Structures are given as C-alpha cells and as structure tokens.
A and B are shown apart, each in its own frame.
Chain A
Amino acid sequence: MKNWLFLIVLIFINKLSLAQNENAEMADIMRRDGKIYVVVAVILIIFIGIILYLVRLDSKISKLEKQQ
C-alpha cells in the first residue's frame, strides 16, 4: 500500500505534463460513441434551469426595489 501511495505523490511532485502516461485508462469509448454529449446536455439543461431561476429572482427583486 505504501508503494502505491508513494507512486501518486511522485506523479504529482513531477510536472504533470512530464508525468503523463499514454497508457492511463480514459473514457475513450464513451467519447467515440458520442454518448459524452448526452452527459454534457443533461448537465447544461440543469445548469441553465438553475440560472433561469436566479434570473427570475433577480428581476423580481428589481421590481420590488422600483416600487419603493
């Protein structure tokens, strides 16, 4: 276990770009299938929804401020 932890620390102490390892497993298949776009779309919809809520709140407060 110690060696394993040591390895991680080593990787970080070195410059990340130097420590790059082409063999590191990435979600390449997901990217090739294009399914990653589904994830992006879902997150964006949720994010935009929250932002729209904030915008509505903002304009409501602006209206209240004008009434005063």
Chain B
Amino acid sequence: MEQSIKHIWTLLKKDILLEVRQQFSFYGILLYIGATIFVIFLAIEDPDTRVWNGLFWIIQLFVCINAVAKSFLQESQSRMLYFQSVVSPQNFVFAKLLFNSLLMLVMSLLSLLLFSLFMGNPAEQLLAFTGIVFLGGWSLSLVFSFLAAIAAKAQQNAAIMAILGFPLIIPQLIMLIKISDAAFSINAKVPLTPVLMLVALDAMVILLAAILFPYLWKD
C-alpha cells in the first residue's frame, strides 16, 4: 500500500514536472480556451442564462478532450515498456487520473474566469456554481482519461476520443446542466441527488479504470 502510494506520487511528480518543463502544451490549452471563448463572445452578444449554461459546458467538454488527450499519447512505446517493468498498471492509471484531474481543475477555473470576464456570470450562488464546475471538470477528466488510454492504444488522435466519449458523457452533462440551473437562481437549492449520482459515476469510472487498464497496457 505504502509503496503504491509512493509509486503514484512519483509518477504524478514526473507528469507535473514534464508539464512545467514543456510549457507549450499548457499554454496551448490555455490559448484554446481563450480563443474559443473570444469567438463565442463575438458570435453571441449577451447570451441569456440557459444559452450561457449550455455553451459553458460544451466548452468544458472540448477543453477537457484537448487537455486530456495528450496524457497517454505523449508516452512513447519504449517509455511505456519501461513503466511496465517498474510499476503496476493500477498505479500508473491512478497517477494519470490524478494528474488529469488536477489539470482539468485548473482549466475549469480558468475557463470560468474567462467566461465571467467576457460574458458576465449569471450565477447567483457563485460558490455553489464554482463547486459544480470543479465537480464537472473532475467527472469529465476521469471519463476522458480512460478514453485517452484507449485512443492511444489504438494509435488514434483526439477525434476518436470524441466519438467514443460523447455518448458516454451525455447523462453527466445533462445532470451538470440541471444542477447549474439551480445555482443560477437565488432561492433555488442545489439538488443533492444528482451531485451524489455524479460522484457515484466518478467512483465507477475509477473502479473500471483499475479493472480494465491492465488489459490495455500489456502488449
């Protein structure tokens, strides 16, 4: 147990270090967020809350695909072979999930800031909405991390991730949009059940990743 935590921590540190050293990819995603929001800002002046909500989550979806896609693709075949000899597949996939979650949390916060800056923030319960954004970003990053592993094994690009992932993410996206709707009005309480369901789905993804990843990883 202790050893596996150490392994996960080392792998996580390696990913963060890589991210810090090769800043172009981080800035690339940042620019992607900025450019998309700017285009929407010019295309739609002053969207009403429902449009704002829908656009925000769709953008989160695309940001997530772009942010997470490279996590497995960047590992070359020889490097993967090296990892296989030193760590267990579970530790490897947990480290990746953790790293992508962190990355996506940062990206969610930034896109929320940019969105509020350009198009205003209709959320009346700002704190609750920020929490929902984090939860949503986390859910999206978990699902797409696993799909990135599949896409990387199939030697495919981010396009196949979208094909594989969109049907799976629909229920979570609908739930997120519903919960956000509640955060947009002053006196509506954010419903607890969908939040719990989202957390349960996240737990399911983690479990499935732990069970299924070993099959993806061996060649």
- The answer to whether A and B touch directly, with their CB atoms under 8 angstroms apart, is no
* Chain A residues near B (Cβ < 8 Å): none
